[in-house]
Amino acid sequence: MTPGVRPLIAGNWKMHGTLASVRELAAGVAAGQASGADLLVCPAFVHLSAVAETLGSGSVALGAQDCHANPKGAHTGDISAAMLADLGVRFVILGHSERRADHAESDAVVLAKAEAALTSGLTPIVCVGESEAQRVSGEAEDVVAAQLAGSLPEGFAAAGGVVAYEPVWAIGTGRTPTEADIAAMHARVRAELEQRFGAAGSTLRILYGGSVKPGNAKAILALPHVDGALVGGASLVAGDFLGIAAAA
């Protein structure tokens, strides 16, 4: 972890859950709040209000999984950052590899969404990461550096934005990079943030994501510049999610 930086453990619930199950999950997370880390849960759009009601005024923050770049307009099926803020959302995940792949989101699209999030007072969590082919070819660090350059807006550091490094090939596969590879990538991300934002870049939180589980969380979270985790499948079980938080 980065000295002096409080870790963030964020749960990305993706397209999972029913109204009843997300209420139960949110209640389970809220009941076991961890003192050593900030907790964040990001349910699907249709469940945001129910989860907000369940979490109440406790310390678990509410996040969303995406937003549109425009504040309003004729964009059927989309949700603006202003709408999210109106629901009590504080964070929004942007540029996740599943959005980049499934919806052809470019760095420019992610940048525009991050700017919209900042305008509405939301903290963007901008995701970056390489494919397995890019890792094998030795391009991983340069790919991630290019994504950072193209996806982060100028006001990102001042607003306390968050970067999430997720190697695409590790998401949901049960595979993780070596600890040395994770440490090397987070060091490169830190260097890019400091080069871009100066001293402010030295304390921005950098999360690791990609098959994080209670069993490997302690080792991953102990690495330099790993300031928390963006958790997928394990965040759908309150005990597992809290177990990861406890490792921080």
Q: Is 233 annotated as a binding residue?
A: yes
Give 197-227 pLDDT, tens digit per residue.
Answer: 999 999 999 999 988 999 999 999 999 999 9
Ordered structural domains, the chain, with CATH: 8-247 (3.20.20.70)
Residue 34 pLDDT > 90: no
Is 211 labelled a binding residue? yes
For position 170, what pLDDT does the model report? 82
Distance, CA of 205 to CA of 128 (rounded, Å): 14
Q: Is 169 annotated as a binding residue?
A: no
More confident residue, 169 or 201: 201
The mean pLDDT value for 168-183 works out to 87
User: How much is the pLDDT for 171?
Assistant: 81
Q: Among all residues, which ones are annotated catalytic?
A: 96, 166
Average pLDDT score over the chain = 96
Q: Is 172 annotated as a binding residue?
A: yes
Cβ(164)–Cβ(207) below 8 Å? yes
What end-to-end distance do the CA atoms of the chain give, in Å?
9
67-117 pLDDT tens trace:
999 999 999 999 999 999 999 999 999 999 999 999 999 999 999 999 999
Say what the pLDDT of residue 175 is: 83
More confident residue, 108 or 58: 108
- Distance CA(45)–CA(240), nearest Å, equals 23
Residue 173 or 149, more confident: 149
Q: Is the pLDDT of residue 33 over 80?
A: no
For 170-227, list the strands marked E by DSSP. 206-209
